[in-house]
Amino acid sequence: MLGLPDSIRVVLFDLDGVLTSTAVLHRRAWKQAFDTFLRQRDPDRFEPFTEQDYLSYVDGRARLDGVRTFLRSRRIEVDEQTVEAIGTGKNDEFLACVARGEVEPYPGSVRYLEAVEKAGLQIGVVTSSKNGADVLDAADLSRFVRARIDGRDIAAAGMPGKPAPDAYLAGAEAFGVAPDEATVFEDAISGLEAGKAGGFGYVVGVDRVGNAEHAAAMRSAGADVVVTDLAELLDR
């Protein structure tokens, strides 16, 4: 009833864009931070940060890795102080969104979490965000989660971020299972690549973009199946 192989014992969810609509808030905060920087740097040659920039260079990555990857795509070289300033500006805007009560879980994701819990599988969250605990609490999803690996844990352990599989491997280890006994749920290309690289038993792509081109890219990145909402898996 969960749309997963029978061998799966643990499910590992990315957070933003998979369980909660906060990917939209992240994208908005990134756009504000990058557009401010780009406009101040060269007003006459300003090219705004786009949705495709978000998907290609930022989505799923640790905050400062996202800054570096996007700036590299524009062939912009800056010092680490500037990287930190852009990342801090983005995070301040995102936290303001959280404080305003703008965090909402996807209804289909809540239905799926309830079904997973009822089926007796263990639920974990693996997110690059250092605000993972706050977002889960704001969305009233902490009650489902038995283990959480977030950006703070990743930084403290010195793990490489997605697309490296290390954070998801740590999630499987937290439950004492092998990767092939766990499923990864991701909306980011970098996260799907991490699931594939880690040898996980099943990788689910959650396509919140909603077009054939992006769904094809998700399959190429490692998704075994692509859905637009987690509740679709309940009907398989």
Q: Which residues are catalytic?
A: 14, 16
Q: How far is CA 220 from the centre of its chain?
A: 18
Q: Which residue has the tokens 């006459």?
A: 44
3-class state of residue 203 by DSSP: strand
Phi/psi-derived region of residue 48, left when phi > 0, alpha when psi is between -120 and 50, beta in every other case: beta
Which are the contacts of 212, defined by CB distance < 8 A and separation ≥ 6? none
The CA-CA-CA angle for residues 224, 105, 132, to 5°, reads 85
Which are the contacts of 154, defined by CB distance < 8 A and separation ≥ 6? 62, 128, 161, 166, 167
- Cis bond upstream, residue 163 (ω within 30): yes
Contact 175, 182 (CB under 8 A): yes
Q: Which residue has the tokens 């491997």?
A: 169
For the record, the structure tokens of 124 come out as: 């974990």
Rounded to the nearest 10 degrees, what angle do helices 80-99 and 63-73 cross at?
120
Contact 195, 18 (CB under 8 A): no
